[in-house]
A and B are shown apart, each in its own frame.
Chain A
């Protein structure tokens, strides 16, 4: 927490949880997908469903998917921008159970790939991503984050950390999540610095790696 968290962020109103946080959730999901989604089904939970419309939360979520920043004055026009760019979207109300009241679940699809992300806006524009494709995760978008999907087996973590440490990359957190023993696994690695294309490439070429995704640090407006 610093002075510019207090005098800031620069954002589009009316509420840091309902707009700024929602934009960041959209932005995180888009970056995770790796390109502009062609379609989005957006499920609003709790107070996102109850007071989201009046707060412009659906607009903010769309704006994030469209890569607008939290302080972009185009946010109120996000629906029109989405239509223009051919993003098909649909909103629905969902019950995600015992999660933060400001939460959302998104199903995104583009030409090459699909993605399910659930996240909460936890206050002050901060977010917590808690589910990716059915894996329980705990990410906040503050760090550059690498996500690796692979079949669960011994040695995967060691191979990843070797590549990262050889490249001089400091790991802030590393967590492996798996659906079942020996089943599919997802590793999330938060880094202090943005990895180069070479590092990401090396990770992609590890044996048995199904998919390597990268989400750059989410900057905040202003």
Chain B
């Protein structure tokens, strides 16, 4: 009963057989496919991480304002709140939220980001991976490997379901990013390939059915805050898996189910901006008091 190629179970079996982490399997696969040496690929990943780091820093340092007026520097606001000692669960948690907001806001404001897996969901992976690595003192080499795990999980989701909001709703974008981050975090913190599988299953199951309903068709509301949700969900799911909790369903089955759910989500809730929050009348922003959004 061999596992079909491209499933997480397939890669897991290889990792377990070779006694290596999933990242090794994904890195070797990428090296084979691209004809590039693993060291070259690792350097390329580090470059991408550095772009992500700049995006995290940018939104925290300077309030990002989008041209629509819907995004108004919330990441920087969160940062000030943390500095003022406001954190509910301690600064590490709040900084995770702030980082996700930051990258997603930079994206909304036409700044430079790494689409991972998409531009709309670009805040989840950097927030979850950088913040946990910082908290736990993980070196960059380990982080690079974790990003390969994340990317490999993304490939599986792309193959078995979809990574696009237009095809599968936001469960396919922010949800997939969250699952990728959850699995990568497990490996980063020394979990087994089986635990990676559980974390991916938890993370995706948690957002099953999440629609895509961008207000005014822009990747701003609710997208930016959903990135924060995705990062928090990833940390929670990684932690559950590391603590030894097991998913009732294997990740592949949850991923396939996500794909099926996505195809049945009515079109108005799949990036068309014709349903959900996208059609609520805007009530205006407090900043100008005009009951309207600047444009």
Contact = CB atoms under 8 A, between A and B. Distances in A.
Nearest to B157: A6
Given A2-B30, A13-B219, A19-B110, A54 B155 contact: no
Contacts of B67: 54, 56
A122 to B, nearest CB: 11
B157 to A, nearest CB: 9
Interface string A178-219: 000000000000000000000000000000000000000000
Contact of A3 (B47, B108, B148, B163): B148
Contacts of A8: 48, 114-116
Interface in A1-32: 1-4, 6-16, 19-20
A50 interface: yes
A134 interface: no
Interface stretch (B74-82, B91-99, B118-126, B243-251): B118-126
A81 to B, nearest CB: 14
A222 B49 CA distance: 11
B118 A12 contact: no
A6 B218 contact: no
A13 B33 contact: no
A123 B166 contact: yes
A8 B47 CA distance: 11
Contacts of B30: 2-4
B217 A11 contact: no
A4 to B, nearest CB: 7
Contacts of B164: 123-124
Contacts of A124: 115, 118, 164
A54 B110 contact: no
A222 B51 contact: yes
Interface stretch (A70-78, A88-96, A110-118, A148-156): A70-78
B158 interface: yes
B264 interface: no
B44 A4 contact: yes
Given A14-B218, A14-B219, A51-B216, A2 B33 contact: yes
B114 A9 contact: yes
A128 to B, nearest CB: 16
Nearest to A51: B217
Interface in B41-68: 41, 44-45, 47-48, 51, 67-68
- Interface size range of chain B in the complex: 35 or more
Size bracket, chain A contacts: 20 to 34
B290 interface: no
B111 A73 contact: yes
A4 B151 contact: yes
Interface in A64-89: 71, 73, 75-76
Given A6-B155, A7-B147, A8-B48, A16 B217 contact: no
B119 A15 contact: yes
Contacts of B125: 7
B261 interface: no
A50 B217 contact: yes
Contact of A222 (B109, B114, B218, B273): B114
B19 to A, nearest CB: 22
A9 B115 contact: yes
B47 A13 contact: no
Contacts of B119: 11, 13-16, 19-20
Contact of B154 (A6, A16, A71, A76): A6
B2 to A, nearest CB: 22
A191 B125 CA distance: 36
Contact of B120 (A12, A15, A76): A15
B166 to A, nearest CB: 7
A33 interface: no
A8 B45 CA distance: 9
B258 interface: no
A13 B110 contact: yes
A59 interface: yes
A173 interface: no
A47 interface: yes
Given A14-B220, A51-B273, A56 B110 contact: yes
Contacts of A54: 67-68, 216-218
A9 B112 CA distance: 10
18 contacts: A2-B34, A3-B41, A3-B148, A3-B151, A7-B48, A7-B147, A10-B48, A10-B115, A12-B113, A13-B112, A13-B219, A16-B119, A20-B119, A47-B217, A51-B216, A54-B218, A55-B217, A73-B111
- 7 closest A-B pairs by beta carbon, nearest first, are A13-B107, A51-B217, A6-B154, A3-B151, A14-B219, A6-B151, A7-B151
Given A16-B119, A51-B216, 4 more contacts: A3-B151, A7-B151, A10-B114, A222-B48
